[in-house]
Amino acid sequence: MSCNLVDMNTKSKFKMVPAVLKQGIRYCGLSFTVKSETEGFFDPVTREACGDSMDYGKLFAYLFRRFGYPNRGWDGYKELTKYVLTTPHSDMVLSVVPYVGDNTSLHFTFLVPMEVLCQINDYGQRFRNAWEERALDWREKLGLPDWMSEWMEFCNTSLRAQFHNLPQYNNWRETLPWMMSLGSGKGRSKFDKMTRRANQFCTQLHADFEKVEAEPGYCERSPNWREWDDEDPIKPFADAAFAALRDLHRPVGVRDQEISAFGVVNSTRQPLAAPAVAGYPSGMLGNAAPEGFAELHGLVLKLGNGNARSGIKKAIAMLAHKTAQSPS
């Protein structure tokens, strides 16, 4: 998974556009939240880029004027709208759902592939993970329980029969996630007995080793995100997130005025032009028949092999031909 730093030249040329999510990628939310002794939990990246308070109405007006109609579906009951936008990092997009309130951090969610999120979490847990490995080494030296071979067979047969695509387990350490996640059942079935015994073993292992060596805590990051370690895998994403959020200050023109995501501005920068869709009531068909229009949207994309312009062109040609053949 790519995790390259975003250089200054890339950031200076960056201009946010609607994003197209990569196929086959499971996206997860990435949080930059840290804990401060004086302020509690907060997101230092979003705070520095946009402040703590941001009006949702001005944000929505800006998004609509700059990017046109929303490019993603959203929860029609809970959410006002949704835009998914690019960032300078190819493995991260910005989801903007204007929250009906003025809490800035609630408007934005950065999304990254699951693999990236795991890398970042592993870095924060690195001291705990090392402690875990020492605990397992320590337990192996003491000797494993006699039932461990039975447990391994259970994982490779019963569990794999219930959960497809599981790998073949060759070492008891590979089954630790099952030891920790299963075992809460109080039944008398073989499944309940096996998982409960494994869970109790795992819990006792950690408790016993903590008497030998205290378990370290999560590696907390500095409240100043610019001070985060360069080797921290979250650093290039924080860098790109800041650049993306700062791009919301870029003005877009409305007649002889300019607005940013924060309202009317007087800027010396050349304002962005309105989107090509400005002035076209493209959403009216959706207003009249939202479900049908969503289905039509999907068919157009399929017709164009994912390219909307190509699909629309083909659909128009087909409809024009059909209309020409129909009696007046």
Q: Burial level of 151, CB count in 10 A (0-12/13-18/19+)?
A: buried
Give 3-state DSSP helix, strand, coil % of the chain, rounded to 5.
50, 10, 40
40: β partners = 36
- For residue 83, pLDDT over 60 is answered with yes
Which of the pair, 323 or 214, is modelled with greater confidence? 214
Please name which of 119, 114, 62 lies closest in space to residue 85, comparing C-alpha atoms. Answer: 62
> Using CA atoms, how far apart are residues 292 and 29, in angstroms rounded to an integer?
31
Mean pLDDT, residues 229-250: 95
Write down the residue that tokens 């304002």 correspond to.
Answer: 271
CA Rg value for the chain: 27
- CA triple 227-233-237, angle to 5 deg: 75
Residue-wise over 153-163: b if at least 16 C-beta within 10 A, else e?
ebbbeebeeee
Mean pLDDT, residues 260-270: 88
Mean pLDDT, residues 188-202: 86
285 pLDDT band, cuts 50/70/90, is confident
C-beta separation of 265 from 253 below 8 A: no
Mean pLDDT, residues 298-316: 90
185 pLDDT band, cuts 50/70/90, is low
Which of the pair, 180 or 249, is modelled with greater confidence? 249
- For residue 276, pLDDT over 50 is answered with yes
pTM above 0.95, yes or no: no
Mean pLDDT, residues 163-170: 84
> Using CA atoms, how far apart are residues 67 and 84, in angstroms rounded to an integer?
10
pLDDT of residue 7: 41
* pLDDT tens digits, one per residue of 4-61: 334 434 455 899 999 999 989 999 999 999 988 888 899 999 999 999 999 999 999 9
Mean pLDDT, residues 196-210: 93
pLDDT of residue 211: 94
Q: Poorest-confidence range of 8-12, 75-79, 205-209, 259-263?
A: 8-12
Mean pLDDT, residues 57-68: 96
Please name which of 193, 195, 155, 189 lies closest in space to residue 175, comparing C-alpha atoms. Answer: 155
Q: What is the residue-wise DSSP string for 213-228?
A: SPPP---PPPSSGGGS
161 pLDDT band, cuts 50/70/90, is confident
CA 76 to chain centre: 20
259: β partners = 252, 264
- For residue 3, pLDDT over 50 is answered with no
Please name which of 166, 159, 167, 162 lies closest in space to residue 198, comparing C-alpha atoms. Answer: 159
C-beta separation of 28 from 259 below 8 A: no
Q: What is the DSSP letter of 249?
A: G
pLDDT of residue 12: 59
Which of the pair, 57 or 294, is modelled with greater confidence? 57
* pLDDT tens digits, one per residue of 86-114: 999 999 999 999 999 999 999 999 999 99
Please name which of 246, 286, 181 lies closest in space to residue 12, comparing C-alpha atoms. Answer: 246
Distant-in-sequence, close-in-space partners of 78: CB < 8 Å, separation ≥ 6: none
* pLDDT tens digits, one per residue of 112-131: 999 999 999 998 888 999 99
319 pLDDT band, cuts 50/70/90, is confident
228: left (phi over 0), alpha (psi -120 to 50) or beta: beta
Residue 113 to residues 21, 70, 110, 160, 200, Cα–Cα distance (Å): 10, 22, 10, 26, 33
Mean pLDDT in the chain? Answer: 89
pLDDT of residue 328: 61
Which of the pair, 306 or 32, is modelled with greater confidence? 32
CA 222 to chain centre: 22
pLDDT of residue 239: 96
C-beta separation of 284 from 90 below 8 A: no
Please name which of 275, 245, 258 lies closest in space to residue 107, comparing C-alpha atoms. Answer: 245
Could you tell me what percent of the chain has a pLDDT over 70? 95
pLDDT of residue 324: 78
